[in-house]
A and B are shown apart, each in its own frame.
Chain A
């Protein structure tokens, strides 16, 4: 037995588990497998081990699957949006206990560095053990993220029976009694990301807010904007089942971009001003019609740009003078034909971030407990972990109205 194993026995408390677990892994471009992997171990004092109860696909996973973020190795465990039960705690953990039902933020943050103290948790200085990669690409390194490539720390993801959660006192939140697993699950990322976008974009009572993308994050950004007092909220997408969910479950109005000139519609419904706040929740694989769509596809495939930014462009052009644009979708590196002139001359505030979820999750869970935030409808397809390849295929192809495939390890 190694010293490390001895330390684990001496330094943690919890339930006995097996030595191997099942997990959904990235095995190549557009390939997902379910295979046997080693049981995660407590490696740091502030870790807990979680038995995963629910773990969901996220639109940003598709960038990994498609090979657009080239920092995955075959065998990497996917998944960053999850909840479960604590089964083992490290000796430095103070707030969490074995048996706690918790939801965990997708970003790993220490809670002690200057960025964490500013509640900018996804920028944590101490959450990414591979800072050299992202520093070389972006100049600085953000925090780490579960199951999101070696550029973001190489952390094993949550699509597994068990997952290790570092800095658990900071990132794992107890789910209130009465909040279902399916509801709490989305506090992990979709709701906290959407809430952050609406909040940091400066949404105020009386604002008109437009959200690009009716996936889980976009829907929750719209709902958060409403709870923050927005007068009117519009969500833009092309998929009728998602737009129907927005109307039924979020209570926002919808625009089908495949049939409607979006900036013209937004000008018409805002007295010619444009929305006060524009939130982009699409990311680097945005769809677009006509010449723009073809242009972006070709340039991305030729690697002349890494990301397709059509929704960001449209948000900047549609936003009112002096308004605010928040980029929630995941982008990797660089884009072409960015409307910098519109941004500057219209006096826009453009901001983006990965999720500072620890800042919002306590408040989100309170809203969930009061029934003001419901997310169960996002889990359109709940299935066993063994079905992860089928779940990802449905999620990617958007077949059978799939909004999110949720796995139950």
Chain B
């Protein structure tokens, strides 16, 4: 019984590690890998505006209670900036928290912005799960990838 529990524990740790690694990947600074040119202090990084460009007019984004549900769900914790994008590219929709956000808050905001964009442009949020698959042989790499995938909608450079 101890061995299965140990393996479960290791897989759980790998899953956590995969998610955490994805969260930190964009801050890595290695040749050919990572997105940051200089490390910013956490306060500045957390307070950055997160923005998507939506192919619509600014009026279609809405305000207040008319905002698409994913953004409206974050309530009055957010400041929003809605401006026309140059070159007929649509509308720049930017948001940031009024208070100091946690990593979970930032993931929720990234997901909300992406889902809002999809709702306006396409009319629905694309779902991939449940995707058909065969037997998931438990491996550390598979567990790490599972963790990374579970958080991929809320991570990235946004």
Q: Quick check: B127 and A129 within 8 Å, CB to CB? A: yes
Q: Quick check: B133 and A77 within 8 Å, CB to CB? A: yes
Name A23's contact: one of B35, B123, B134 (CB within 8 Å). B134
How far does the alpha carbon of A127 sit from the alpha carbon of B123 in the complex, in Å? 13
Asked if A350 CB lies within 8 Å of chain B CBs, one says no
Which partner residue on chain B sits nearest A134 by CB separation? B156
How far does the alpha carbon of A167 sit from the alpha carbon of B121 in the complex, in Å? 13
Interface string of A322-335 (1 = CB under 8 A from B): 00000000000110
Q: Quick check: A23 and B145 within 8 Å, CB to CB? A: no
Interface members, chain A 105-139 (any B CB < 8 Å): 110, 112-114, 117, 125-127, 129-137, 139
Asked if A84 CB lies within 8 Å of chain B CBs, one says no
Contacts A74-B142, A154-B149; is A129 near B121 (CB within 8 Å)? Answer: no
Q: Quick check: B121 and A150 within 8 Å, CB to CB? A: no
Asked if A76 CB lies within 8 Å of chain B CBs, one says yes
**Interface segment, A33-41, A287-295, A340-348?**
A33-41
Q: Quick check: B121 and A155 within 8 Å, CB to CB? A: no
User: What residues of chain B lie closer than 8 Å to A179, measured between beta carbons?
Assistant: none
Does more than half of chain B's interface fall in helix, strand or loop, or is it mixed? Answer: loop
Asked if A300 CB lies within 8 Å of chain B CBs, one says no
How far does the alpha carbon of A359 sit from the alpha carbon of B131 in the complex, in Å? 27
Asked if B47 CB lies within 8 Å of chain A CBs, one says no
User: What residues of chain A lie closer than 8 Å to B149, measured between beta carbons?
Assistant: 130, 133, 150, 154
Interface string of A184-217 (1 = CB under 8 A from B): 0000000000000000000000000000000000
Nearest Cβ on chain B to A86's Cβ, whole angstroms: 18
Does more than half of chain A's interface fall in helix, strand or loop, or is it mixed? Answer: loop
User: What residues of chain A lie closer than 8 Å to B89, measured between beta carbons?
Assistant: 114
Asked if B57 CB lies within 8 Å of chain A CBs, one says no
User: What residues of chain B lie closer than 8 Å to A361, measured between beta carbons?
Assistant: none
Contacts A74-B139, A129-B153, A133-B152; is A155 near B128 (CB within 8 Å)? Answer: yes
Q: Quick check: A36 and B134 within 8 Å, CB to CB? A: yes
How far does the alpha carbon of A40 sit from the alpha carbon of B132 in the complex, in Å? 6
Q: Quick check: B132 and A333 within 8 Å, CB to CB? A: no
A-B contact count (CB 8 A): 156
Nearest Cβ on chain A to B38's Cβ, whole angstroms: 16
Interface members, chain B 38-62 (any A CB < 8 Å): 52-53, 55
User: What residues of chain B lie closer than 8 Å to A28, measured between beta carbons?
Assistant: 137
Q: Quick check: B128 and A139 within 8 Å, CB to CB? A: no
User: What residues of chain A lie closer than 8 Å to B114, measured between beta carbons?
Assistant: 131
Name B134's contact: one of A37, A132, A134 (CB within 8 Å). A37
User: What residues of chain A lie closer than 8 Å to B136, measured between beta carbons?
Assistant: 73-75
Q: Quick check: B154 and A23 within 8 Å, CB to CB? A: no
Q: Quick check: B127 and A44 within 8 Å, CB to CB? A: yes
Which partner residue on chain B sits nearest A336 by CB separation? B32
Number of interface residues of B (CB under 8 A): 46
Q: Quick check: B130 and A126 within 8 Å, CB to CB? A: no
How far does the alpha carbon of A298 sit from the alpha carbon of B55 in the complex, in Å? 46
Asked if A396 CB lies within 8 Å of chain B CBs, one says no
How far does the alpha carbon of A51 sit from the alpha carbon of B149 in the complex, in Å? 28
How far does the alpha carbon of A21 sit from the alpha carbon of B83 in the complex, in Å? 48
User: What residues of chain A lie closer than 8 Å to B139, measured between beta carbons?
Assistant: 74
Asked if A408 CB lies within 8 Å of chain B CBs, one says no
Q: Quick check: A38 and B132 within 8 Å, CB to CB? A: yes
How far does the alpha carbon of A222 sit from the alpha carbon of B124 in the complex, in Å? 40
Name B124's contact: one of A33, A44, A139 (CB within 8 Å). A44
User: What residues of chain B lie closer than 8 Å to A71, measured between beta carbons?
Assistant: 145
Name A127's contact: one of B90, B126, B137 (CB within 8 Å). B126
Q: Quick check: B117 and A132 within 8 Å, CB to CB? A: no
Asked if B141 CB lies within 8 Å of chain A CBs, one says yes
How far does the alpha carbon of A92 sit from the alpha carbon of B149 in the complex, in Å? 28
Interface string of B59-77 (1 = CB under 8 A from A): 0000000000000000000
Q: Quick check: B122 and A132 within 8 Å, CB to CB? A: no
How far does the alpha carbon of A37 sit from the alpha carbon of B136 in the complex, in Å? 11
Q: Quick check: B157 and A136 within 8 Å, CB to CB? A: yes
User: What residues of chain B lie closer than 8 Å to A218, measured between beta carbons?
Assistant: none
Offer 5 A-B interface pairs, CB within 8 angstroms, sorted by A: A71-B145, A75-B135, A131-B114, A136-B22, A334-B33
Query: Chain B residues in contact with chain A, CB under 8 A?
Result: 22, 25-26, 32-33, 35, 52-53, 55, 89-90, 110, 114, 117-118, 121-124, 126-137, 139, 141-142, 145-146, 148-149, 151-158
Task: Known pairs A38-B133, A141-B156, A334-B33; list 9 more (Cβ under 8 Å).
Answer: A21-B132, A35-B134, A44-B124, A72-B145, A77-B132, A133-B148, A133-B156, A144-B128, A155-B128
